[in-house]
Structure formats: C-alpha cells, structure tokens
Chains A and B, each alone.
Chain A
Amino acid sequence: MTTLHPLGNINRKEPFGRKKDGTHYRVLVVDDSSVMRKMLVQILKSDDYEIAAEAADGAEAVEKYMSLKPDLVTMDFNMPNMDGVKALTDIQKFDSQARVIMLTSEGQKEKVLEAITSGAKDYVVKPPERASFLDKIKACLQP
C-alpha cells in the first residue's frame, strides 16, 4: 500500500490568499455536505484565504453574501431549500460583480452551462484537486 498526500501537494507554490495591503481574500463556502465544506476550508486556509462564513444551502448563502460581501463564493449545485443556481442568480441580482465558482460532481456537468450563463465565473469538479482548485480561485480574483 502506498500513501500519497491527500488533496495534492501542500507546498505547491506561494500562498495567494492575502491581498497586497496585507488583508486576506474572504471566501464564502457553500455546500450541504459538512465534510465537503471542511475539505474546502482546509484547502483555502492552506493558501492563506480567510473563510468569511459557511452556508449549508442556497438561501443561507444569499443571506450571508448580502451581510458579509465576501470576495468570492464557492457554490455547490444540489442543496436543500434553494439550489446553487438559484442562489447564484439571487446573488448576481444583489451584486452583478459577485465572483462565484460552482462545484459539481462528475455526473452532473450538464448543469454547468446554466450556471455559467447565470454569471458563474468558473466551475470545479468534485473532489477538488487542490492545485487546480486554487488556480481557478486565483484566476477568478484577478482584477
């Protein structure tokens, strides 16, 4: 049995989660799975991002986006109460400059087009591979 490092190489590159003024980029992590949220938080924190908040469904995500105005949102598709695309649409109505990255499972890529049309900046397939996930976050936060 070989044990590799989970989630990819931790020392891939310099952390990007801090802005030039020294403050951190703030991310809202939205997923109905508590372990998926923990996994994403772990990856984001390892690159120096600040977790603005976590949300377990779309309605909670919209509410938290409006009160916290994070720099970026990672949004799951399938969630109870309000799904990811509806939450994305509501967030875009509130802030047309909102930066949202969708997370989808391999078998549900058909929903990605709808999300991109609704204003999502990009998407990531679960399980997120650390390096490419952080690359997409970084690209999304570029001015």
Chain B
Amino acid sequence: MIPVKTARISETFQGAAVNATLEMFRQVYGRELAYVGSAEKIVGGATQNLNAVINMIGAVAGTVVIQMSTVYAQKLTALMIGSETTPSNEDVHDAMGELLNMIIGSVKTKLSTDPSYFQFSLPTIVSGSGYILYTKAKNKCERVTLCQFADGNDSLYLEIYLVDP
C-alpha cells in the first residue's frame, strides 16, 4: 500500500517522467515511443537486460531505474552515435547512463524552477535481471510505479521508487 503523500508526489513525478522519456527519445534518437501505461511487472523475462539507476535526494527523494534488453540498448546506442556496427559494451553502458541522466534532468526542470528542488546522483549500470533494489532511506522507499513504453517490438520500462516523506 503506497502512503497517500507518496502517491500524490508519484502522480506528478510519473507524468513528468513519462513526458521527459518521450521527449528524450524524440530528441536523442529521433524515435516516437508509445507510452503503454503502468505495468504490474516486466514482461518478456529476458535474461540479458540492462538497467541504469539514479538516486534523488531533496524535495523528491528516491530512485529511478530504466530497463531494456541489451539488444535494444545496443540499437539505441548505435543510433545515438551514428554507428552502423554493434557498439562496444562501454558505449552501451555509457549511453544508458546518459539517457537516464537527461531524463531525470528534464523531470527536475518540469517539476520546479528551483535548482535545489532535488539533486541526483551519477548513474549506475546494472546488467542482468531479477535484482532486488534496496535503498537505505530514513523512511520507507516504495516502488510507486512501473511505466511501460513500446518501440515497435521492443519494450522499455521506467521504475520509480519514492521515499515516503
């Protein structure tokens, strides 16, 4: 059960995060993503997944994770750097981190004009699936939503965890 205050912040944050993701895909990759909606769980069960993780602290605190298959991440990275060959793992990881960094930066701007509204960490890349996210927050950190996007046959997920204020 998500606490009421977290649920309120979540609605606003989720809307900003969805819009920021759609905008970033347009700007960085020239692709129109489709927002599928909130999902119960990640579908597909791919074992080769990549996740980028960013923590936030301030008026909004918590963690955002972007998740996609390694093959799709390679495809996006190739688009980003204009490469016709499969990019290196280093470039793919770097691109995932940059993408989430730009999404969270855009979310921050959408939510407030105050630069100190919240601060966010450098991205961390996690390879694989079935991980358990543990945040050592003072108050309970809940996964408030899992947003699903589609790009043709490829899927992309944005998991949002917020700390109960």
Contact = CB atoms under 8 A, between A and B. Distances in A.
Interface of A: 1-7, 33-36, 38-39, 42, 78, 105-110, 126-127, 129
A34 B91 contact: yes
Contacts, number: 81
B156 to A, nearest CB: 13
Task: Give the one of B26, B34, B81 with max A CB within 10 A.
Answer: B81
Given A33-B97, A110-B115, A127 B27 contact: yes
Interface of B: 24, 26-32, 34, 77, 79-83, 87, 90-91, 94-95, 97-98, 101-102, 104-109, 115-116, 120, 122, 151-152
17 contacts: A1-B31, A1-B151, A4-B30, A4-B32, A6-B80, A35-B77, A39-B80, A105-B101, A105-B102, A105-B105, A106-B109, A107-B108, A109-B109, A109-B115, A126-B98, A126-B102, A126-B105
A68 B104 CA distance: 35
Given A42-B82, A106-B102, A106-B109, A1 B30 contact: no
Given A1-B34, A35-B77, A127-B24, A108 B105 contact: yes
B119 to A, nearest CB: 9
B95 A35 contact: yes
B106 A106 contact: yes
A34 B102 contact: no
* Secondary structure call for the A interface: mixed
Contact of A106 (B26, B90, B105): B105
Given A38-B81, A107-B120, A109-B115, A6 B30 contact: yes
A42 B115 CA distance: 31
Given A34-B90, A106-B108, A107-B109, A3 B98 contact: no
